[in-house]
Chains A and B, each alone.
Chain A
Amino acid sequence: MNVLTDNFSDYGAGFLGTLELTVYASLLALALGFLMASFRVAPVGSLRIFGTVWVAVLRNTPLTLLFFAVLLGLPRFGLVLPFEVFAVLALGCYTSAFICEALRSGINTVPRGQGEAARSLGMTFGQTLSLVVLPQAFRSVIPPVGSTLIALAKNSAIAGAFSVTELLGTYKTLNELGYSIIWTFVWIAVGYLVITLAISAVFHALERRWGVAR
Chain B
Amino acid sequence: MTAAPALYDVPGPRARRRHALYGALSTVVLLALLAWILYLLFHTGQFTATKWTPFEYQGIQLLLLRGLGNTLKAFAIAAVLSLALGGVLATGRLSDHRPVRALATLVVEFFRAMPVLVMIFFIFVALKVQPLPALVAGLTLYNGSVLAEVFRSGVHAVERGQREAAFALGMRKTQVMAHVLVPQAVRAMLPAFISQLVVALKDTSLGFLITYEEFLHAGKLIASNLDYDLPFIPVVMVISPIYIGMCMLLSWFAGWVSRREQRSPKTEAVAHAPAGPGALLPGGEPPMAPEP
Contact = CB atoms under 8 A, between A and B. Distances in A.
Of the candidates B230, B281, B285, the one having the most CB atoms from chain A within 10 angstroms of its own CB is B281
Nearest to B241: A57
Contacts of B216: 62, 64-65, 68
Contacts of B280: 59, 98
B212 to A, nearest CB: 11
Interface stretch (A5-13, A153-161, A205-213): A153-161
Contacts of A119: 6, 8-9
Interface stretch (B117-125, B171-179, B262-270): B117-125
A121 to B, nearest CB: 12
Contacts of A151: 281-284
Contact of A115 (B5, B198, B201, B276): B5
Q: Is the interface of A mostly helix, strand, loop or mixed?
A: helix
Interface string A30-70: 00000000000101111100100000110111111100110
B5 A69 contact: no
A28 interface: no
A98 B195 CA distance: 14
Interface in B238-277: 239-240, 243-244, 247-248, 251, 276-277
Contacts of B53: none
A148 to B, nearest CB: 6
A46 B219 CA distance: 33
Contact of B285 (A77, A143, A154): A143
A102 interface: yes
Interface stretch (B23-31, B153-161, B181-189): B23-31
Nearest to B210: A161
B227 to A, nearest CB: 17
Given A73-B232, A108-B4, A115-B6, A98 B281 contact: yes
B26 A98 contact: no
A49 to B, nearest CB: 9
B126 interface: yes
Contact of A158 (B3, B117, B239, B276): B117
B283 A147 contact: yes
Q: Is the interface of B mostly helix, strand, loop or mixed?
A: helix
B89 interface: no
Contacts of A189: 114, 118
Nearest to A196: B113
Contacts of B121: 168, 171, 185
A131 B114 CA distance: 39
B91 interface: no
B240 A69 contact: yes
Nearest to B283: A151
A45 B27 CA distance: 9
A198 interface: no
B281 A192 contact: no
Of the candidates B4, B19, B206, B251, the one having the most CB atoms from chain A within 10 angstroms of its own CB is B4
A22 to B, nearest CB: 12
Of the candidates B3, B11, B27, B204, the one having the most CB atoms from chain A within 10 angstroms of its own CB is B27
B128 to A, nearest CB: 9
Of the candidates A41, A105, A133, A157, the one having the most CB atoms from chain B within 10 angstroms of its own CB is A157
6 contacts: A46-B26, A50-B26, A61-B240, A68-B220, A133-B7, A192-B118
Pairs A-B, 3 closest by C-beta atoms: A151-B283, A101-B277, A60-B247
